[in-house]
A and B are shown apart, each in its own frame.
Chain A
Amino acid sequence: MPTEVWTGLFVGASILMYLYIGWSSRVSDSKGFFVAGQGISAIANGAATAADWMSAASFLSMAGLISFLGYDGSIYLIGWTGGYVLLALFLVPYLRKFGKYTVPDFIGERYYSNWARLVAVVAAIFISLTYIAGQMRGVGIVFSRFLQVDVNTGVIIGMIIVGFFAVLGGMKGITWTQVVQYYVLIMAYLIPAIAMAMLLTGNPIPQFAMTFGDISTKLNQIQVDLGFAEYTQAFANKSMLDVLAITTALMVGTAGLPHVIVRFYTVKDVRSARFSAGWALLFIALLYTTAPALSMFARYNLVNTLHNATIEEVQQLNWVQKWEKTGLLAFEDKNQDNRLQLTPDETSNEISIDSDIIVLSTPEIANLDPWVVALVAAGGIAAALSTASGLLLVISSSIAHDVYYRIIDPGASERKRVFVGRVMIAFALAISSYFGMNPPGFVGQVVAFAFGLAAASFFPIIMLGIFDQRTNREGAISGMLVGLVFTSFYIIGVKFFDMPTWCFDISAEGIGTLGMILNFVVTLVVSRVTPPPPPEIQELVEDLRVPEDIVTEEPNLAA
């Protein structure tokens, strides 16, 4: 069977499955709609979180990016996994004990202020919208690449599928589709990586092949011969301080992203929340430890196959023909010697490689059956859809729950709340699809925004809300505002107005770290020069700190 038929079959079958799950988990109450009824097991939530977290970018682009950055690509690997330790230690158990539906909900109650709630709502929506704009574009690109449709058609197909299970099933529908999507995407990632490891090193486990084989030595040698820095050489592209700042911003930002945090509201108790963070990270680590191995194999293979080959030789490779057609791979014999040279210098380099090709071309390079290519297609689509749906729910619940129910109409009936939630998902979907079809030129650049702002706003405020009883309304609001304003100012200035990176030469991606520190300082200082929180709030904090079933009271002897 040709690849196209397999692809249609796999993609079609997986989409039908998502639609079926959405239909069978339709909900009618607000608890089911916003937090999946709080009955999800630790492992299932771990898998859902992993799918929620790993986007089309993690799936398709990350290994490619790392293979061009070498050591410096570690910022993504450490940054996007280390944040889960912070989540597990500082946020997740206590937010689950709190038990309400959203991140602004916690901030609004802990800081006894609808202003604090509103600042949090604006930050949550802004973070999620910048993130989802790229996701819907990703959905369109994935569909167009695999199904040979127009990108806009791809966005519309994705919109219909996500809309169906998210509007009907809310968080419950999203959770169970994400669980299935995790299995699809991890199979799609691991099978080609294992085949590639087998092909190049004879060791089927990519992590072992990378660690115990001699491939890095060979790759380092090739890199040096071609005039590149050694692959394992640290700080070849970025300074140490910048790597430190970016990694920290990504870690703290991960821990502050609302769509990740809300996933932990769906488990049944504090204990499950703690273990669920472990499962989520384990599931994520499966992909994140495979990716750097794949990057290394792919880089080695590409350079080895293409460099100094004649154009005729290269054209005979079937994967080269295929990806040359899509424009992801391009050759130009600049010095007319009939051979292709890969060099670090733009003017003499004759091979241009798009980083997405690293994952996409693996099955063909490793000579795998067409059904594996089809599986990769289904995996890419699963990764894009699962992240988009998680983000949609955050936008919907921020408006439907925090603004509409908590501020505008606290007497709203269950039915009305769920109805508003559904309308808001549809509304958010329409906006993000519009951005998917008409991407603002800066989509790629604004991802830094999501992480920077999450690091500079949510993480410090939630953490202090639990660990520092003295933190009050005044401190929290000023801390969040200072963090948000400083970070946005720096990112917008550097990205769009050519502002010099005056802050210790830290790039826009890493500035969230400073925003976070500023937020911490401002919050702590302002809290201490203004009145302490009221007694009932201090009591609330005391209660958050112990799980439901822990006995911390003496028996009342008088009773």
Chain B
Amino acid sequence: MRDFSRRQSYWNTNITTIQLLLTVWATVSLVCSILIVDLLNQIQFFGLPLGFWIAQQGSILTFVGLTFLYASEMDTLDQRYRSRQGESEPKAVSKQEIGE
């Protein structure tokens, strides 16, 4: 019998992670770099106006961080679901490939 709740909770955690990272993505790329760039440009970030710096440097660096963060977060999640002592698991689960 398939345990849909276990699969569902894996998926729910994934969705939460995605929502969080996507919010950061949108804030940096669309809000800070474009929508409120004029406002941020009044703040000086070392030699550059802040909005300009985010648009041409900061956003790209954030994107790199976000993709690696997602990969490592999901790695941790996978580990938890792969281990035989998942926290809500009463007994050992046999390792079966699904869907093959």
Q: Which residues of A are in contact with B by a Cβ distance under 8 Å? A: 66, 71, 73-74, 77-78, 81-82, 84-86, 88-90, 93, 207, 210-217, 232, 234-235, 240, 243-244, 247-248, 251, 271, 274-275, 277-278, 281-282, 285, 288-289, 292, 539-540, 542-543, 545-556
Q: How far is the CA of A73 from the CA of B56 in the complex (A)?
A: 8
Contacts of A216 in B (CB 8 A): 47-49, 52
Closest beta carbon of chain A to B100's beta carbon, Å? 8
Contacts of A271 in B (CB 8 A): 71, 74-75, 78
Q: What would be 7 A-B contacts, judged by CB atoms less than 8 Å apart? A: A82-B29, A210-B57, A212-B47, A234-B55, A248-B30, A281-B63, A549-B95
A211-B45, A214-B47, A271-B78 are known contacts. Are A549 and B55 too (CB-CB below 8 A)?
no
Taking a contact as CB atoms under 8 Å apart, the answer to whether A88 and B71 are in contact is yes
A78-B29, A545-B11, A546-B10 are known contacts. Are A234 and B51 too (CB-CB below 8 A)?
yes
Closest beta carbon of chain B to A464's beta carbon, Å? 14
Q: Which residues of B are in contact with A by a Cβ distance under 8 Å? A: 1-3, 6-7, 10-11, 14, 18, 21-22, 25, 29-30, 33-35, 37-38, 41, 45-49, 51-53, 55-57, 59-61, 63-64, 66-68, 70-71, 74-75, 78, 81-82, 91-99
Closest beta carbon of chain B to A408's beta carbon, Å? 28
In the complex, the chain B residue whose C-beta lies closest to that of A208 is: B46
Q: How far is the CA of A353 from the CA of B60 in the complex (A)?
A: 28
Taking a contact as CB atoms under 8 Å apart, the answer to whether A278 and B7 are in contact is no
A248-B30, A271-B75 are known contacts. Are A74 and B94 too (CB-CB below 8 A)?
no
A215-B47, A289-B60 are known contacts. Are A278 and B71 too (CB-CB below 8 A)?
yes
Q: How far is the CA of A240 from the CA of B18 in the complex (A)?
A: 27
Q: How far is the CA of A285 from the CA of B57 in the complex (A)?
A: 9
In the complex, the chain B residue whose C-beta lies closest to that of A80 is: B60
Taking a contact as CB atoms under 8 Å apart, the answer to whether B2 and A553 are in contact is yes
Among A71, A282, A550, which residue has the most Cβ atoms of chain B within 10 A?
A550
Contacts of A81 in B (CB 8 A): 59-60, 63
In the complex, the chain B residue whose C-beta lies closest to that of A240 is: B34
Taking a contact as CB atoms under 8 Å apart, the answer to whether B53 and A211 are in contact is yes
Contacts of B53 in A (CB 8 A): 211
4 closest residue pairs by CB, A with B: A543-B99, A274-B71, A74-B55, A552-B7
Taking a contact as CB atoms under 8 Å apart, the answer to whether B60 and A288 are in contact is yes
Taking a contact as CB atoms under 8 Å apart, the answer to whether A285 and B60 are in contact is yes
Taking a contact as CB atoms under 8 Å apart, the answer to whether B60 and A77 are in contact is yes
Taking a contact as CB atoms under 8 Å apart, the answer to whether A553 and B98 are in contact is yes
Contacts of B38 in A (CB 8 A): 234-235
A240-B35, A542-B7 are known contacts. Are A232 and B70 too (CB-CB below 8 A)?
no
Q: How far is the CA of A246 from the CA of B24 in the complex (A)?
A: 20
For chains A and B in complex, what number of residue pairs have CB atoms within 8 angstroms?
179
Taking a contact as CB atoms under 8 Å apart, the answer to whether B97 and A211 are in contact is no
Q: How far is the CA of A554 from the CA of B94 in the complex (A)?
A: 8
Contacts of A540 in B (CB 8 A): 99
Partner of B93, one of A214, A248, A274, A551: A551
Q: How far is the CA of A296 from the CA of B40 in the complex (A)?
A: 20
Partner of B78, one of A278, A289, A550: A550
A88-B71, A543-B99 are known contacts. Are A549 and B48 too (CB-CB below 8 A)?
no
Contacts of A277 in B (CB 8 A): 67, 71
Taking a contact as CB atoms under 8 Å apart, the answer to whether A548 and B35 are in contact is no
In the complex, the chain A residue whose C-beta lies closest to that of B18 is: A89
A71-B55, A210-B57, A292-B56 are known contacts. Are A85 and B25 too (CB-CB below 8 A)?
yes
Q: How far is the CA of A216 from the CA of B42 in the complex (A)?
A: 14
Q: How far is the CA of A547 from the CA of B60 in the complex (A)?
A: 28
Other CB < 8 Å A-B pairs besides A82-B29, A234-B37, 7 of them? A81-B63, A85-B25, A211-B47, A244-B30, A543-B98, A545-B14, A554-B1
Closest beta carbon of chain B to A279's beta carbon, Å? 9
A89-B70, A552-B2 are known contacts. Are A232 and B52 too (CB-CB below 8 A)?
yes
Contacts of B82 in A (CB 8 A): 549-551
Partner of A275, one of B2, B37, B71, B91: B71
Q: How far is the CA of A81 from the CA of B75 in the complex (A)?
A: 23
Q: How far is the CA of A81 from the CA of B33 in the complex (A)?
A: 13
Q: How far is the CA of A247 from the CA of B30 in the complex (A)?
A: 8
Taking a contact as CB atoms under 8 Å apart, the answer to whether B48 and A232 are in contact is yes
Closest beta carbon of chain A to B7's beta carbon, Å? 4
Taking a contact as CB atoms under 8 Å apart, the answer to whether B93 and A555 are in contact is yes
Q: How far is the CA of A213 from the CA of B11 in the complex (A)?
A: 47
Closest beta carbon of chain B to A83's beta carbon, Å? 9
Among B30, B63, B95, which residue has the most Cβ atoms of chain A within 10 A?
B63
Contacts of A547 in B (CB 8 A): 78
Taking a contact as CB atoms under 8 Å apart, the answer to whether B93 and A554 are in contact is yes
Taking a contact as CB atoms under 8 Å apart, the answer to whether A549 and B97 are in contact is yes
Closest beta carbon of chain B to A84's beta carbon, Å? 6
Q: How far is the CA of A275 from the CA of B49 in the complex (A)?
A: 33
Taking a contact as CB atoms under 8 Å apart, the answer to whether A85 and B63 are in contact is yes
Contacts of A232 in B (CB 8 A): 41, 48-49, 52
Contacts of B34 in A (CB 8 A): 74, 240, 243-244, 247
Closest beta carbon of chain A to B32's beta carbon, Å? 10
Q: How far is the CA of A78 from the CA of B52 in the complex (A)?
A: 12
Taking a contact as CB atoms under 8 Å apart, the answer to whether B21 and A89 are in contact is yes
Closest beta carbon of chain B to A36's beta carbon, Å? 21
Contacts of A217 in B (CB 8 A): 47
Taking a contact as CB atoms under 8 Å apart, the answer to whether B81 and A550 are in contact is yes
